Structure 1
Amino acid sequence: MRVGPSSLSGAFALRPNLPHAAFLLPVLVVLGCASPRPSSPPLAPPSMPTPTEPGSTPAATARKPETAALKAELVAKHGEAQRARIERGVEQVAAQWREEDGDLAAFVREQFIADPKLLDATFARMERLFEQLEGHLNELGRELRWATDVDQGPMLPVDPLFAAYDPGAPVTEDLFRAKVGFVVLLNFPLTTLAERVAHAQDYTRRQWAEARLAGRFYRRVPSEVQQEVSRAGAAADLYISEYNVWMHHLVNERGERLFPKGLRLISHWNLRDELKADYADAAQGIAKQRMIVQVMERIVTQTIPAAVINNPRLDWNPFTNAVTVAPAGTVEENAPVGGASAEAAPEPDTRYARLLAHFHAARRVDPYVPVAPTQLARAFEVQRELPEARVKAVLEQVLTSPLVPRVAQLIEQRLGRKLEPQDLWFNGFRPGSSRSETELDRLTRQRYPTADAFAKDIPRLLRGLGFSKERAAYLAERIRVDPSRGAGHAMQAARRGDFPHLRTRVEKEGMNYKGYNIAVHELGHNVEQVFSLYDVDHTLLAGVPNNAFTEALAFVFQARDMELLGLGKPDASAERERVLNDFWQTWEIAGVALVDIAVWHWMYEHPEATPAQLREATATIAREHWDRYYAPVLGGKGSPLLGIYSHMISYPLYLPDYPLGHLIAFQIEEHLHKKGPLGAEFERMARQGAVTPDAWMVHATGSPVSAEPLLRATEAALAR
């Protein structure tokens, strides 16, 4: 999973760690700093609507006579050739201008740039300074969160307070007050998604960069509101990163312990991965899986006893919900201090209080973003740049595909039993999945006793993925590896000279297979992050279209984790397995994504809801989606299992990026199988930067984002 400043739309307010920037004021008096070049033509004719929808706010409406006269004055001064830029720029400024900003007309007269050389110089200056601004604030934010993100022993009480502080919260307002934001809006086009899609094949790279530059100022959110967003995110992230279950202390009705001593699994990532690994345990695998499902459902419904969370001193039967003090001989050495009282009181809806905090923070942002006045609108129209209706239609196309029962029948044949809810995470299509978790853990712990050992092996891993020796060294020099307190993530850099960080969990015995699998995934993020920052032609375009694309590129790496362990390259049979695995994983996460979306719609429809009410609503929504899409295949009618994903709590509306990522990854894989080698093609794709999703995909693979390639390949795989 990618964490860090977003490059989804190039919007400044989407980037979490940004500075006070009064020192940027000198950009208003720009001296030549770029070679002369013709100015870019307008990105769209003036008749096309601007995203600020002039006249949609009372202030903009009141200024219409003033702005009309101002436009006429500027056109008379600078000529008819500048009309489109003048009319659009004045409207963009007027939509954000406030009384305390001063004399609008005087500002516009002084700061409108008609000279192409001066416009080029201004663009170049801003590109350089914004890279430094974002980059250094990203580094500061990373340092403030270091103790909560990186496992370096117990946290101090002050650490969560630092993590919740966002030094970049005031930056957008500061830049407006310093008039830098208004210089951008006056001289560069703030485009709509419709415009970017319509002109995707016509834009020059400079035009794309201009669109991303102006996109930084599509909203003007007060710093105290942005700080609330940061506090909600930091609190939710910390809550999730410490949500561990000590598996040796799960007991069944006979008092049996099915899991080994010392196994500590974070929800939901490690619980899910353990469930997948248990397919290789012929003796107790299904009993373990059923127990994990019960744990997951109790987390979703908040019937899990609060006392057992991250506590190795208590035993818990998740079927009866009984809690007892663990016998002395079962408690892990050096176990963290925890209560030993056999208290069975449920967790007090903390999970949903954290989610509501996200929602309330988002509602405070809503009034300041008239072009996207809900978190849902911002997630799809601004960040993802794919309309919600299109995303849902693609997901439902997979969920309702007639291929689902056919693949399910094949799984039943392999398992020799009817499918159950845990088979949502069936992993038997992956080559090498027959190997036991114990064997895989032995391999990875031996190879990676520490995070540093993984870091030193990155050049070999990259060469194994098809990168040249020189490019592998280039990438390895720019990636840092840290032991993660949570499941793992990739923290990107935002300026050249800084480096992305790979975080994955390393237990005291070394990196187990779960940690290794996540590390390979995060390495895919980091490689993308290096190429899309260091090798992109405009740093204003650094990144990828949206998180689904970086997830897709990370999936390409993750799919080769067994190969990188020296367990063989895939043959034709393995290729068939890969297709079926991709289909089943996409089917699984598509329903989870729809639950995430539906829960946010419910919150907007019930803005005064309590955590308890949100809990009931989430469980109901999860059950409804389960019964509609999954119960006919997996049984378990009324299961709330789709609500288990931790992203719902810590990363609002991130989950749709995963099924989209699977679909995009499949299209990329199909292209790689035809073109190859992976290294050179991966680099070519990643260097495109943050253009729109379909434009990126057409350039990368020749076709827009679609479920059709995966569905066609699945049909063919079943026929074989």
Structure 2
Amino acid sequence: MSWSKPRWVSPLRAWPLVMMLGCSTTSPTPTPASAVDVRPAAEGPAMKPTSDVLAQVTAELVAKHGEAQRARIERGVAQVALLWRAEDGDLGAFAREQFVSDPQVLDATFARLERLFEQLDGHMLELGRETQWYTDLDLGPLLPVEPLVASYDPSSHVTEDLFRAKVGFVVLLNFPLTTLEERTRQGATWTRRQWAEARLAGRFSMRIPADVRQESSREVAAANLYIAEYNVWMHHLVDERGERLFPKGLRLISHWNLRDELKADYADPRGREKQRTIVQVMERIITQTIPAAVIDNPRLDWNPFTNAVTVAPPQTVEADAPPREARADATREADVRYARMLAIFRAERKVDAYVPVAPTRIARAFELGRELPEARVKALLTQVLESPLVPRVAAEIQSRLGRKLEPQDVWYAGFKPGAKRPESELDALTRKRYPTAEAFAKDLPRILQGMGFSAEKADWLAARIRVDASRGAGHAQQALRRGDFARLRTRVEKGGMDYKGYNIAVHELGHNVEQTFGLYGVDHTLLTGVPNNAFTEALAFVFQARDLELLGQGKPTAESERERVLGDFWQTWERSGIAMVDMAVWHWLYANPEATPAQLRDAVVSISRDVWNRYFAPVLGGEDTTLLAVYSHMISYPLYLPDYPLGHLIAFQIEEHLSRKGLLGAEFERMATYGSVTPDLWMTHATGAPVSAEPLLRATEAALKARP
């Protein structure tokens, strides 16, 4: 399983923010503008207009446009005043000029803004993609300038520029800001135009200075590059006898490839030895006891159990090995992993002061990004983690393995079709079929037809997707402007695309298909996309679950469906654990804002052990294991990990619906074109029910009872 780069969001496409104005699309009751100060105390008061000024402006507008417009006027003036600064000038003069009461003029204003923002968002995304072109793609060694270019965010000034140009204030004066509670409670009764207006206004619900945005972008880019180059050369892992368990040339990125190699090793005669070695490597990475010199270095041998480092014999070094120093230095990595995480946290803290209704990254991730409260997400994950089904599924795994379970079995892959086949066989198949990224791109129409799309629709989709060889594990990146192309990135080694890369590519293709339908098929481009990242992950999982079938390696049967259900449950259980760690770490950061990298490291280790001991050790043993903290998202994408278990729950509901309909292509398109409404509204439209863990739990119970 791979990952998707979190949906690129320019400052213009900021997640709809919850503004406590008490306003509603149907019955607005504006809060006085003086009630909220969006600027940090360090910068002094925002010097917003006084209540007397607002009352005067409101009275003038009502006199000009009529009593019937009072509610809109009161709401709009309050919304503008919330972010108006002294340097913005005369609020009254602006409001008298820009308030629109004529329905036809309002419609034209909406249409022109929607068109503008599609182009602006799209071109800004393309510029951002260009700045990260060489750090994202496998195009050879990086020049010293590349990390600097990648850290530059060309969109960082756009929102402030639009406020200064008064465009943002025109939106706030004429269109409604809404709360999450309103969108959740009333959204089902809204028209599509009302939803588009809510998303339009939400773009201007905060005013964060460009330098603050830029710092956040810079730190995320630096963390991404750090992760993209965090490889382990597996042939150079040795035991005390100097034996090498892994083949020459195998270079695995942390954490994705390391985990996927571990999962593949169940079919290997020496798989348990390999898995224990990988677990030890992971533990070294998490605790930062890994020698810095061995990271992405094929010229050194390393025993991860003793931590001894030696110069690799010349005959073991890969012929195409990149130039690296061959000096046996066992000095540990100096908490770089946690320094990168801290840098992002500190950049986010500077954002906090400008978003008073969601004054932490935690609040923004759940209330504004997912539009699902953290408490509800935690309850869904706890329902899975504490399910009595866990030990029952574990017992079946133990029976299949013929041994007691161990910590690495948190990634047990035996439920997946073809799991009993050595991955080397699948590698040979995919490398032959896809020697290059271009070969995979040429096969997209066939793959898409295999997913249930018509030949015409498959060609249409393939023409709007581009495939690139990734420097990192792989990701998907959408287009935001019709005419641009969604990008599918996956790792393609020199010998061709191995099965891991193929599996990632099919996952990312699911993202790209969702993104393409969401751009071209939605009725308002302001609604482009899905509710949040968990939904795009869910739709990508639908594709990924069929990767072997697309290779011609078997059709679904009743037994394979049972296996799929058990596998989904086990993966959701594991990912619920990593999400709990991610959330707890961010709460710790806010409680300890002056922490050092070493203190953060110790906290992450402690939190991961606590979550493991509570939910996983009773089933898998290995008390105090830290494995749940290995996911690289924790370092480069703050609070992304809850999207994975949510994505599995959502994917299962979608799969359950598809099994009844039997029309994957048409149903996938219908779901993906509904747009970025609230999660439960989207799910009800897609499957007939809100987001829930119950379908997965019911199906798992039935699968266990159906044991042959």
TM bracket, shorter-chain basis: over 0.9
Deviation of residue 280 (structure 1)?
Answer: 0.3
Q: Is the 8 A contact 1:385 1:692 kept in 2?
A: yes
Q: Distance in 2 between matches of 1:237 and 1:427?
A: 28
Tell whether 2:28 aligns with 1:46: yes
SS of equivalent to 1:201:
helix
1:387 partner letter: P
Q: Distance in 2 between matches of 1:211 and 1:410?
A: 49
Tell whether 2:482 aligns with 1:503: no
Deviation of residue 691 (structure 1)?
Answer: 0.6
Deviations 1:169-224 (A, max 9, x none): 00111010000000000000111111100112111000010001011011101111
Tell whether 2:329 aligns with 1:343: yes
Identity %: 72
Q: Distance in 2 between matches of 1:700 and 1:11?
A: 28
Q: Distance in 1 between matches of 2:8 and 2:153?
A: 15
Tell whether 2:527 aligns with 1:541: yes
Mapping of 1:253-272 within 5 angstroms?
A: 253-272=240-259
Q: Is the 8 A contact 1:595 1:625 kept in 2?
A: yes
Q: What's 2:159 paired with? A: 172
Q: Distance in 2 between matches of 1:314 and 1:691?
A: 52
The one of 141, 147, 156 equivalent to 1:160 is 147
Change beyond 3 A, Cα 1:5–1:63 = farther
The one of 703, 706, 712 equivalent to 2:692 is 706
Q: Is the 8 A contact 1:60 1:94 kept in 2?
A: no
Tell whether 2:200 aligns with 1:213: yes
Tell whether 2:303 aligns with 1:317: yes
Q: What's 1:83 paired with? A: 70
Q: What's 2:578 paired with? A: 592
Q: Is the 8 A contact 2:238 2:303 kept in 1?
A: yes
Q: What's 1:12 paired with? A: 13
2:4 partner letter: R
Q: Distance in 2 between matches of 1:352 and 1:701?
A: 41
Change beyond 3 A, Cα 1:53–1:506 = farther
Q: What's 1:28 paired with? A: none
Q: Is the 8 A contact 1:7 1:543 kept in 2?
A: no
Q: What's 2:4 paired with? A: 2
Q: What's 1:299 paired with? A: 285
Q: What's 1:429 paired with? A: 415
Change beyond 3 A, Cα 1:430–1:494 = same
Tell whether 2:460 aligns with 1:474: yes
The one of 343, 357, 370 equivalent to 1:384 is 370
Deviations 1:648-678 (A, max 9, x none): 0111111000000000000000000001210
The one of 172, 177, 191 equivalent to 2:178 is 191
Deviations 1:481-509 (A, max 9, x none): 00000000001111000010000000000
Q: What's 1:64 paired with? A: 51
Deviations 1:458-486 (A, max 9, x none): 00000001000000000000000000000
Deviations 1:4-38 (A, max 9, x none): 65469x963469xxxxxxxxxxxxxxxxxxxxxxx
Q: Distance in 2 between matches of 1:592 and 1:159?
A: 32
Q: Distance in 2 between matches of 1:240 and 1:5?
A: 18
Tell whether 2:657 aligns with 1:655: no
Q: Is the 8 A contact 1:54 1:61 kept in 2?
A: no
Deviation of residue 66 (structure 1)?
Answer: 1.3
1:389 partner letter: A
Deviation of residue 543 (structure 1)?
Answer: 0.6
1:160 partner letter: P
Root mean square deviation of aligned Cα: 1.6
Q: Distance in 2 between matches of 1:47 and 1:614?
A: 44
Tell whether 2:513 aligns with 1:559: no
Q: Is the 8 A contact 1:3 1:492 kept in 2?
A: no
Q: Distance in 2 between matches of 1:55 and 1:326?
A: 63
1:106 partner letter: A
Q: Distance in 2 between matches of 1:48 and 1:261?
A: 67
Q: Distance in 1 between matches of 2:212 and 2:131?
A: 19
Q: Distance in 2 between matches of 1:458 and 1:516?
A: 12
Q: What's 1:605 paired with? A: 591
Mapping of 1:100-499 within 5 angstroms?
A: 100-281=87-268, 283-499=269-485
2:559 partner letter: S
Deviates more, 1:480-489 or 1:427-436: 427-436
Q: Is the 8 A contact 2:7 2:533 kept in 1?
A: no
SS of equivalent to 2:488:
strand
Deviation of residue 371 (structure 1)?
Answer: 1.5
Tell whether 2:82 aligns with 1:95: yes
Q: What's 1:674 paired with? A: 660
Q: Distance in 2 between matches of 1:220 and 1:49?
A: 18
Q: Is the 8 A contact 2:80 2:173 kept in 1?
A: yes
1:47 partner letter: T
1:3 partner letter: K
2:655 partner letter: E
Deviation of residue 72 (structure 1)?
Answer: 2.3
Q: Distance in 2 between matches of 1:550 and 1:60?
A: 42
SS of equivalent to 1:3:
coil
Q: Distance in 1 between matches of 2:8 and 2:172?
A: 21
Q: Distance in 2 between matches of 1:3 and 1:574?
A: 30
Q: Distance in 1 between matches of 2:180 and 2:14?
A: 17
Q: What's 1:36 paired with? A: none
SS of equivalent to 1:199:
helix
1:2 partner letter: S
TM-score by length of structure 2 reads 0.96
Q: Is the 8 A contact 1:54 1:91 kept in 2?
A: no
Tell whether 2:517 aligns with 1:531: yes
Q: Distance in 1 between matches of 2:293 and 2:458?
A: 47
Q: Distance in 2 between matches of 1:55 and 1:168?
A: 27
1:161 partner letter: L
Deviates more, 1:65-74 or 1:470-479: 65-74
Q: What's 1:696 paired with? A: 682
Q: Is the 8 A contact 2:353 2:359 kept in 1?
A: yes
Deviations 1:56-85 (A, max 9, x none): 566477622211222222222212221221
Change beyond 3 A, Cα 1:370–1:298 = same
Deviation of residue 682 (structure 1)?
Answer: 0.2
SS of equivalent to 1:502:
strand
2:615 partner letter: Y
Q: Is the 8 A contact 1:131 1:540 kept in 2?
A: yes
Structure 2: runs of 5+ lacking an equivalent: 17-22, 39-44
Q: Is the 8 A contact 2:24 2:178 kept in 1?
A: no
Deviation of residue 435 (structure 1)?
Answer: 1.1
Deviations 1:137-196 (A, max 9, x none): 111111111000011111111111110000100011101000000000000011111110
Structure 1: runs of 5+ lacking an equivalent: 16-40
Q: Distance in 2 between matches of 1:89 and 1:59?
A: 19
Q: Is the 8 A contact 1:59 1:95 kept in 2?
A: no
Tell whether 2:705 aligns with 1:719: yes
Change beyond 3 A, Cα 1:565–1:43 = same
Q: Is the 8 A contact 1:42 1:85 kept in 2?
A: no
Q: Distance in 1 between matches of 2:285 and 2:275?
A: 15
